[in-house]
Structure 1
Amino acid sequence: MDANGADLRGCTIRACGGGKGSGVFSTAAPEPGATDGVVMVVPLDLAVTPMRVLQDPLVGPRCRALFEEGGVDDRLLVMLFLMAERRRPGSLWKPYLDMLPSTFGSSLWFSEEELAELEGTTLYRATVIQRKSMQSLFDEKVKGLVEELLHADESASVIMLVILLTLYDASPLMLKYWPVVCSQGIGASSTEVVFEDFLWANSIFWTRALNIPLPHSYVFPGLCGDQHTRTDDDVCDSGLPAHQETDVKAKDSTADENSKSRNTESIWVEGLVPGIDFCNHNVKALATWEVDSVGNATGVPASMYLMLADKSSVEVGAEIYINYGNKGNEELLYLYGFVIDNNPDDFLMVHYPVEALRQIQSADIKMRLLEIQKGELRCLLPRSLLDNGFFGIHSSEDKDNKKNISPFSSYSWSGQRKVPSYLHKIVFPQEFMSTLRTIAMQDHELEQVASLLGEV
């Protein structure tokens, strides 16, 4: 990282211990008067993004063709690149890839026995579906594409060696063993690409990729500075009538304003940023990352930096955490392979299975009604709502608060309506309740609805 311009200003990357992988740790006490809190700066040129893959001298041409044909999307493009670079013995990315975990604790990596313990949960169903989808994608597309990229790398290496042999007098020994070298492949992987390679690349992407706000000029280089800018002298020498000269100046002014606006806007791109991606998650994280487009914050234009919110509160040797977002334990286990005790963002997914819906009376009509009203068959409930069960407020303090709630009224076209007695007992969102009411409708109610729809 140091050789490629990364700057660890107050931190280091090392193993966390206990089989927890690597993390970012503070190495320096806050300097007196220091206010910026920047502890790491990484040039965006180091980021593994779809643009970086398409610009790669070895695999870029083939990936570009696949991308233009619509055969791969942005995410799969990065995964293919990771798989190919991991297989290449002489990859320039080897120091970085060697630091990445080789296995994960997410449910996609569970054994059949471990996965069986989740049976009956939403996580189990999501894991089984994703595994089947990934296996199918690997067999039909990924395996062949990665082998093709490795073969392209091998061919490029052979061509490069031929050029070197041509430029420099090849020794008799080199010429003697040249056929053997060619038959074994230069720079190619000696082992077969397997599904675990794809599973690894998929996990690397989903556990480490960031949604990066890149400058427009960084994503589309050459569009902003290559255009010819017309000067006043150009207009005067153009031979145009005076009123047309004014029109040209106005158009040029508008074009300049549009160009400046385009230069300042950001385009969100998913990618890996070596260094920043070693930060682990904590609900009470004290650090965050930002993009410095022009270098005002770090002195390094087009860079990403890790910044402490309160530098004085981080001790030397303490791990520097960021927050991955408001994620429940099911999502954390599915994506990252860990859970948090007393997770404040934990939730419970409640759903009405489609299989059960198809078995009820008048299923076709009810499914049609749900489609019309865009009914929700599932909802997410914060687990804290269920601490005291689905109904009732048990603590005396809550009971007193309930008594002090001022009565209120709701109105409709027919006038004032009485507030339902169960209002404060409803746990499910209104959209989900509407779905349940539709599913519970009797035949005569369905006939009334059909009659009303017919009149409309």
Structure 2
Amino acid sequence: MDPEPELGKDFRAWLVSHGGHFHPNFSVVSGLSIVATEPVAVDATIVSCPLSLVITSVSSRSALSTVLGDESVIEDWNERQLISTYLCFHWILDTQSHAVLKHLPYLNTLPPPPQLRTPLHFTQAELDALKGTNLYGATLDRRSEWEAEWLECRKGIMRIDASWHDGLTWERYLAAATYLSSRAFPSTLISQTPSLVVTDSSEPVLLPGVDSLNHARGQPVSWVVNSLDPSTSPESALSISLVSHAAFPAGAEVFNNYGPKPNAELILGYGFATPENPDDTIVLKIGGHGAQGGNKWEVGRDARGIEGLWEEIVAAVRSHATEGEQDEDAPSEWDIMLEAAELLTSMSTMLLSRLPEPSSSGAVRPDVAMMIEYYVSGQRDILTSILGFAEDKEADAVTKSSSEGGVLHLDEDLVEEDEEAE
């Protein structure tokens, strides 16, 4: 096995010097993976990050206030602006002259911008390959949001130092924000009862070392909050550890488990996708309910979770069909069910036809093309399962209403893919 690179050694030494831990039988490979150099038994603590090294919006605000010398500049910044700009200042300033900028050994292990693969790092041809999916619109929305935040940060910093303003480039801010989206854990993980559940009060935090592991679905891991030294203060004593419940032979990569996430979320936030992802979903909503539309329904493979969407379609069809009708002229319940099934069939077919075909131009990088194919394939499978669900409902309605006749024909703009769902 190749020896651990110098950046990995520097990171390991830095982490340990601050009270952290890194299992001696693992090697850091430039922040892209952690590989066993010797066999590792089950229930081994892979890495521990002391609370003092956790990057939060609070710690970032404190450091930026010290560097800028004017807390009013950052008063209204959100969590992403605070953490991303804090990371960027490691590239703007001499960190040896600013002790509060203490995470350079960590940043040096992270993938450089050319290796980042979220859609905000796609070429135009690669982004165009997403047209026809809700991920395309979600990418444009995220770019617009992050660019607005970046401009606000630059405007504030300009009040302090023009060279710092110039140093906070879009490329740097995008890389830092991508690190946050792809590596952050919810702050609930650093509580006394660690949890990956995102709550209204939780925020994204970076855990150097703990966030170095790649994702593999269903990996048996635990997160443990422990005390480094009971004689010290609670803050300096606490650390968060990642414990793996699998054994690893030499040369094997150790993985983390990010939890069940669809490929749309993995691509947008992390920059990768998995084939035949069982957690894939598509988000649909009912149109025609005013300017905002209806509820959003997340439907998975095998039409999992479609019941709420189906009930809302039936209710909308019933309301439309019976409007202004006398009781004796009202359609039967099976006519309504048949119309709802036909409508869902039509919409599923339309959404399937919008999905992009694999690019053959050569303008899309192979790994990006593979991600897009995994994602689009999952969307196609889900829509096909919705189509099967609708066909079953239609067959059922036809059988039970064979003696009633009189099928209604309503507006087919009732169901739409939610392009802002991701």
TM-score normalised according to structure 2 size: 0.60
C-alpha spacing 1:199/1:63, structure 2 compared with 1 (3 Å):
farther
Equivalent residues in 2 for 1:345-356, closer than 5 Å = 345-352=279-286, 354=287
C-alpha spacing 1:437/1:292, structure 2 compared with 1 (3 Å):
same
What amino acid sits opposite 2:257 in the alignment?
N
Conservation of the 8 A alpha-carbon contact between 1:147 and 1:193: no
Given the alignment of the two structures, is residue 24 of structure 1 paired with residue 34 of structure 2, yes or no?
yes
What is aligned with 1:380? Answer: 298
Conservation of the 8 A alpha-carbon contact between 2:157 and 2:165: no
- 1:440 alignment partner, SS class: helix
User: Aligned partners of 2:275, 2:321: CA distance in 1, in Å?
Assistant: 49
Correspondence for 1:144 among 144, 155, 176: 155
Correspondence for 2:221 among 262, 287, 293: 287
User: Aligned partners of 1:83, 1:205: CA distance in 2, in Å?
Assistant: 12
Equivalent residues in 2 for 1:91-240, closer than 5 Å = 91-103=101-113, 104-139=116-151, 141-147=152-158, 151=161, 192-213=167-188, 214=190
Given the alignment of the two structures, is residue 367 of structure 1 paired with residue 290 of structure 2, yes or no?
yes
Conservation of the 8 A alpha-carbon contact between 2:33 and 2:212: yes
User: Aligned partners of 2:170, 2:105: CA distance in 1, in Å?
Assistant: 23
C-alpha spacing 1:330/1:443, structure 2 compared with 1 (3 Å):
closer
C-alpha spacing 1:286/1:215, structure 2 compared with 1 (3 Å):
closer
Correspondence for 1:12 among 7, 14, 26: 26
- 1:437 alignment partner, SS class: helix
User: Aligned partners of 1:316, 1:63: CA distance in 2, in Å?
Assistant: 51
- 2:214 alignment partner, SS class: coil
Conservation of the 8 A alpha-carbon contact between 1:6 and 1:41: yes
User: Aligned partners of 1:351, 1:443: CA distance in 2, in Å?
Assistant: 17
Q: Deviations over 1:170-223 (max 9, x none)?
A: xxxxxxxxxxxxxxx9xx65954322222112101111111134459xxxxxxx
C-alpha spacing 1:37/1:292, structure 2 compared with 1 (3 Å):
same
Correspondence for 2:92 among 87, 109, 126: 87
- 2:223 alignment partner, SS class: strand
C-alpha spacing 1:436/1:59, structure 2 compared with 1 (3 Å):
farther
- 1:56 alignment partner, SS class: helix
Question: How much is the aligned-residue C-alpha RMSD, in angstroms?
Answer: 3.4
Q: Deviations over 1:130-161 (max 9, x none)?
A: 1122223323x122234556x3xxxxxxxxxx
User: Aligned partners of 1:79, 1:320: CA distance in 2, in Å?
Assistant: 27
Amino-acid identity (%): 22
- 2:237 alignment partner, SS class: coil
What is aligned with 1:273? Answer: 207
What amino acid sits opposite 2:245 in the alignment?
A
Conservation of the 8 A alpha-carbon contact between 1:48 and 1:273: yes
What is aligned with 1:305? Answer: 241
Q: Deviations over 1:249-301 (max 9, x none)?
A: xxxxxxxxxxxxxxxxxx855311111111110013233332225769xx983
Conservation of the 8 A alpha-carbon contact between 1:42 and 1:275: yes
C-alpha deviation, 1:13, in angstroms? 4.2
User: Aligned partners of 2:320, 2:301: CA distance in 1, in Å?
Assistant: 36
Q: Deviations over 1:221-260 (max 9, x none)?
A: xxxxxxxxxxxxxxxxxxxxxxxxxxxxxxxxxxxxxxxx
What is aligned with 1:413? Answer: none
C-alpha spacing 1:76/1:118, structure 2 compared with 1 (3 Å):
same
User: Aligned partners of 1:192, 1:22: CA distance in 2, in Å?
Assistant: 26
User: Aligned partners of 1:208, 1:63: CA distance in 2, in Å?
Assistant: 29
C-alpha deviation, 1:436, in angstroms? 1.9
Conservation of the 8 A alpha-carbon contact between 2:118 and 2:268: yes
TM-score normalised according to structure 1 size: 0.56
Given the alignment of the two structures, is residue 433 of structure 1 paired with residue 351 of structure 2, yes or no?
no
C-alpha spacing 1:10/1:448, structure 2 compared with 1 (3 Å):
farther
Equivalent residues in 2 for 1:316-355, closer than 5 Å = 316-352=250-286, 354=287
- Aligned pairs, number: 292
Which structure has the bigger radius of gyration?
1
User: Aligned partners of 2:227, 2:49: CA distance in 1, in Å?
Assistant: 12
C-alpha deviation, 1:15, in angstroms? 2.5
- 2:108 alignment partner, SS class: helix
Conservation of the 8 A alpha-carbon contact between 1:203 and 1:335: yes
What is aligned with 1:257? Answer: none
User: Aligned partners of 1:306, 1:289: CA distance in 2, in Å?
Assistant: 5
Conservation of the 8 A alpha-carbon contact between 1:295 and 1:301: yes
Correspondence for 1:2 among 13, 16, 21: 16
User: Aligned partners of 1:114, 1:130: CA distance in 2, in Å?
Assistant: 16
After superposing the two structures, state which structure 1 stretch, 204-213 or 81-90, moved more.
81-90
C-alpha spacing 1:116/1:54, structure 2 compared with 1 (3 Å):
closer
C-alpha spacing 1:147/1:9, structure 2 compared with 1 (3 Å):
farther
User: Aligned partners of 1:201, 1:349: CA distance in 2, in Å?
Assistant: 28
Q: Which runs of 5+ in 2 are unaligned?
A: 1-14, 96-100, 193-200, 327-422
- 2:290 alignment partner, SS class: helix
Given the alignment of the two structures, is residue 446 of structure 1 paired with residue 323 of structure 2, yes or no?
yes
C-alpha spacing 1:134/1:382, structure 2 compared with 1 (3 Å):
same
C-alpha spacing 1:446/1:98, structure 2 compared with 1 (3 Å):
same
- 1:53 alignment partner, SS class: helix
User: Aligned partners of 1:314, 1:148: CA distance in 2, in Å?
Assistant: 53
